[in-house]
Chains A and B, each alone.
Chain A
Amino acid sequence: MVELRDVCMQFEENKVLDGFSLNVEPQERLVIMGQSGSGKSTILRLILGTLRPNAGSIFFKRFEITGLQRRKLQAVRQHMGMVYQYSALLSSRNVRENVALPLEELTDKSRDEIDKIVDEKLELVGMKDSKDLLPEELSGGMRKRVALARALVLEPELMLLDEPSAGLDPVIASVIDELIISLSDTAKVTSITVTHEMDSAFRIGTRMAMLYQGKIIEEAEPEKFKQSKNPVVAQFLSGSTEGPILEGSLDAITKK
């Protein structure tokens, strides 16, 4: 479904991805873990084509994202749904208008049909009663659920989720996780989630990957991943301050 081959991405002097490769099979729920600023969100943006890599190729189904013209890229994006870390709802539009936007702009559906789909998706995320509220009137969790409904409205084949449960209370985080799981079970949606929320990651993922210094250093099913012998993965999962992740940076902190 998605393949990244030897992707390199650099922002000025900062090399974020260095020969990064990844393969995602249909209906899989891949979770990419890694430290803050390690390039997890960049991977999602590269798949969406909103960022272009410095080197390497990215494929979505049979399309090479990196080589697509704007018009074709826009058509391909309609098969993907993205949930941003901070929701990215349009602040001047209410919940209904936010969720209806892709349908109004990209399909020929009538107003009644759009309303029906919007209601259905908002009900799915438990937000049907908040249709007329503006994003500024919603809590963080509510915004995230609306963003999820908006991403689902075009029935995407691939969901890209950037920290879907970060900053949410445990109950709402579980609701969102369950929703992501049910989507892949019932609607056969493939998903790539980037997160460093452990509980959520192991609940959602059918495969886990650890991003470190621009590359995937460990890739396994959740149970195997938990027992990884890789010292970086082990330190990341335990949250210990002893280990290779903080070498150098911890010295710098303590010296201050």
Chain B
Amino acid sequence: MADAQPPPVLVAQGIGHISRNFLREVGGVFWFIVNTFEEMFERIQQGRVPFRATSFFRHSQRAGVDSVPLVGLVSFFLGLTMTLLTGYQLQRFGTERLIPGLVAIGFTRELGPLLTGIMVAARIGAAFTAELGTMQVSEEVEAIESMGIGPLRFLVAPRMLALILLMPCLSTASNIAAILASSLICKAYFSIAFPYFLDLVKDSLLIRDIITGIFKSFLFGLLIAAIACYRGLTVKGGAAGVGISTTSSVVTAITAVIGFDTLYNVIYTTFYPT
């Protein structure tokens, strides 16, 4: 007991340990993305396609098209709820005509990409990690590597590109579903007809809001794919390891999406305060 460290030292050690692990993980994911793009460009330099189109379309179908019902439904319900809750508050001040703009801007800039990111991280991120993790523990990834095939460009690149390109589409589907839901509530509860609703949306929504949302979606797609594939290819410890990595992948991807969204908003509002 004589060697016991005083509490401040233990706390500092704990913080140091957590910070080191965090920075190691961030560095790992960063170089993972860099190496994937490097392998892809090396392949293109050789005059070859980095991966097969069928592989890209298969992942696009899974990550994108098959996610539309889930993303659409959740966004539709959230659009309904948001309109009801804000509508009754605004009605007290006689400003219910602000609802369409509020929902449209809220979803286009913020909630659409964020909700889609969270849902895709849970649905597709988990699938990517489990799939690659299983390949890793059954030596399939090493077998690919041993043939002289780059596993990053062969396994990761089609998944990453599919998610980067499909996320803005899913985000747009989310926005449309929420705005549609909002228009139904506006008509039923606040006597705002559909043409007037559309006029109010068009008046309040700026191109800048749409671009912001789309840019965020690209970023979230990259983050989710990179974290999910990185976790999959670094699985250790057999079937249990795949389970642990899959859980960790979903938690990390959702946290990263929310964290980057906040960071983006802070930077954005600093440069464009209005």
Proximity bits, B126-155, A CB within 8 Å = 1, else 0 = 000000001100111011111111100010
Q: Which chain A residues border B140 with CB–CB below 8 Å?
A: 88-91
The answer to whether B150 touches A80, judged by C-beta atoms less than 8 angstroms apart, is no
Residue in A75, A86, A150 whose beta carbon sits within 8 Å of that of B148 in the complex: A75
Min CB gap B129→A, angstroms: 16
Say whether chain B's binding surface is mostly helix, strand, loop, or mixed: helix
The answer to whether A88 touches B139, judged by C-beta atoms less than 8 angstroms apart, is yes
Min CB gap A194→B, angstroms: 15
Report if A82-B138 is in contact (Cβ < 8 Å); known contacts: A71-B42, A105-B154.
Answer: no
Report if A90-B147 is in contact (Cβ < 8 Å); known contacts: A71-B42, A105-B154.
Answer: no
- B39 nearest CB neighbor, chain A only: A70
Report if A74-B149 is in contact (Cβ < 8 Å); known contacts: A84-B139, A86-B138.
Answer: yes
Q: Is A222's beta carbon under 8 Å from chain B? A: no
Q: Which chain B residues border A76 with CB–CB below 8 Å?
A: 148
Q: Which chain B residues border A86 with CB–CB below 8 Å?
A: 138-139
A211→B149 CA distance, assembly (Å): 31
Q: Which chain B residues border A48 with CB–CB below 8 Å?
A: 146
Q: Which chain A residues border B150 with CB–CB below 8 Å?
A: 70, 74
Report if A105-B149 is in contact (Cβ < 8 Å); known contacts: A86-B138, A88-B140.
Answer: yes
The answer to whether B138 touches A102, judged by C-beta atoms less than 8 angstroms apart, is no
Q: Which chain B residues border A77 with CB–CB below 8 Å?
A: 145-148
- Using a CB–CB cutoff of 8 Å, the interface residues on chain B facing chain A are 39, 42, 134-135, 138-140, 142-150, 154
Question: Besides A84-B143, A91-B140, A101-B149, 11 other CB < 8 A contacts?
Answer: A71-B42, A75-B148, A77-B148, A78-B147, A80-B146, A84-B142, A90-B143, A101-B147, A102-B147, A102-B148, A106-B147
